[in-house]
Amino acid sequence: MAVDVIMPAMGATQETGRLVRWFKQEGDSVTKGEMLMEVETDKSVVEVEAPASGILAQVTAAPDDDIPVGQTIALIMEPGKAGSASGKSVSPARRRKRNGPASTRKPTKAPAAVAASPAASRRTGRTLASPAAKRLAKEQGLDLASLTGTGPEGAVVARDVPSMAPGAAEAGAGRSVPLSRMRRLIGERMTSSKQTAPHFYLDMEVDMTGVEARRGALKQQGTQPVPSVNDFILEAVGRALAESPAMNASWTDKGIEQHGEVNLGMAVAVDDGLVVPVIRNADKVPLEELALRSRELAAQAQNRKLMPTDYQGGTFTVSNLGMFGVDSFTAIINPPQCAILAVGRVARRVVPRGDDIAIRSMMTMTLSADHRVVDGAIGARFLQRVKQHLEAR
């Protein structure tokens, strides 16, 4: 009996997935539970297990194909019956009947199996590279092996790929960059947010001198990992949201929904866009644990290894560009949330201190909020609470 290999759904709203690679070739023996293929969704790259044991046959999808969720892209046949079946092509009519109104691309053999781990990739001589880097290099006709990787484990990432192929600059030629799945989704969601949510903005300065002193003390104590400035911000925002339920809310067709949990999203820049992994019940997580969790999620995001449960269900988002030297900025609300906090760098400034002046470590935070859900006074009081938690350090 043949078992269908389908494009899996990794999230409730996912409609298609991109096949990154096969770990097996057509005609290879597979074992249930072993890694069969790698699939890219809007926010992650996921390894998919074989649904049964047998022989991989009738492969109808190739790397870089965008495939509707639920579509059959191969079969796993019983060993005794796979010989003849795997050698037969699948007619377009039969494929449409089995898969519905999907692509009628001719069956293409998958590439040779590639080990998934960085160490195994080094042993086989393969060049580690992110999906975005692979696409850019392919578009420009560049050999990945010729590029120096600056990503995790020395992987080639998008920033390592020259913006134009050799000689293009001299010729004055530009290039058209195709939209990635992530870039397209970000564009659609942010456009919708700006068009439907009436944004208003509030700025407030925070004295971070105490936070810097606390971080210095933790370093001397040998704490590992030392919480980053962003970890302190996440902790303060989580506590403030628990004290300000009106800010931990969403606009719905049935009314304003105030969430029972504080699930705090943290914006993480990746090769071709932005993802927002979520720290659940952030108001109850101790600083040391929060520091560990934030690093773990950031690493998974940058390696495109987040699972849907890691980035779904956020109730508020923090976006920090301070590490890039940005003093302040305004962010677009991440729907269906009602607000997002943008924070800039911590910098030494001359500020009033009573009747005198002093040099303090200051940071600007900017709240973008949905006026349908909250008003200015609610947002201002929320910022005051965040400020109080940070300056109490």
Neighbours of 187 (CB within 10 A): 12
389 is catalytic: no
Determine contact, residues 202/367, Cβ cutoff 8 Å.
yes
- Active-site residue (options: 199, 259, 371, 389): 371
C-alpha count within 13 angstroms, C-beta hemisphere, residue 116: 18
Sign of CA dihedral 70, 72, 74, 80: positive
3-class DSSP state of 334: coil
In the 8-state DSSP scheme, what is residue 328? Answer: -
Determine contact, residues 3/76, Cβ cutoff 8 Å.
yes
User: What does the buried/exposed string (b/e) look like for 284-297 if buried means 16 or more CB atoms within 10 Å of the residue's CB?
Assistant: ebebeebbebbeeb
d(CA 210, CA 228): 13
Residue 277 corresponds to which amino acid? P
Strands 3-6 and 29-30: unpaired
Residue 304 corresponds to which amino acid? R
Q: Which residues are catalytic?
A: 371
